Amino acid sequence: MTLLVRWLTASELEWANSRYAEVDFLPSPASDLVAVAELNGTAAGLGRVTHIAPGIGELGGMYVFPEHRGVGASKSLIQFLISQSNLATLYCLPFEHLDGLYQAAGFKPCDPGPSVPGKVMEKHAWCNARYPDPVLLMCRAALPPVS
């Protein structure tokens, strides 16, 4: 099995958004950094980082197509987005039952408060109103440079 992750091309955005509609996820604007996981050359899932403010993003839109689940595609998408988005701070709004998946990638539960960007707080409230499953607020900060 070959699993690789790459950036979505501009011509694939409409396709990606039609896949997101299947799971009632918001469509991505062209400004999102969207990644595609491919299993043996076939598209298997999507993930994205939305730019929030300088150095800050929101990682989400994790959707592995049903026939490709359980082989690590979401873990690879998360690692790719963390390493390639080049943002020091990433927020994430995962469903509660996926806590362990995101903690394993370095995300920690985060208290809502004035240090959290308004856009992230608004999306968190929106998600909790929209989806039946509780949605967490998590954050991952870059490690300080080694001196």
Ligand X SMILES: CC(C)(COP(=O)(O)OP(=O)(O)OC[C@H]1O[C@@H](n2cnc3c(N)ncnc32)[C@H](O)[C@@H]1OP(=O)(O)O)[C@@H](O)C(=O)NCCC(=O)NCCS
Q: Which parts of 50-89 interact with ligand X (CB under 6 A)?
A: 62-64, 69-75
The H or E element spanning position 92 is strand 89-92
Look-up of token digits 């001196």: 147
Q: Is 132 in the site for ligand X (CB under 6 A)?
A: no
- The only residue of 18, 55, 86, 97 in contact with ligand X, by rule CB under 6 A: 97
Q: Do residues 73 and 44 make contact, with C-beta atoms less than 8 angstroms apart? A: yes
Q: Least distance in Å: CB of 144 to ligand X? A: 27
Cβ of 73: how many Cβ atoms within 10 Å? 23
Report CA-CA distances (Å) from 138 to 9, 86, 100, 108, 110: 28, 18, 11, 5, 5
Q: x/- site string to ligand X, residues 8 to 27, per CB under 6 A?
A: ---------------x----
Q: Which CB sits closer to ligand X, 41 or 54? A: 41
Query: For 147, which DSSP code?
Result: -
Number of residues located near ligand X, criterion CB under 6 A: 16
Q: Which CB sits closer to ligand X, 83 or 147? A: 83
Query: Which residues lie near ligand X (CB under 6 A)?
Result: 23, 62-64, 69-75, 94-95, 97-98, 101
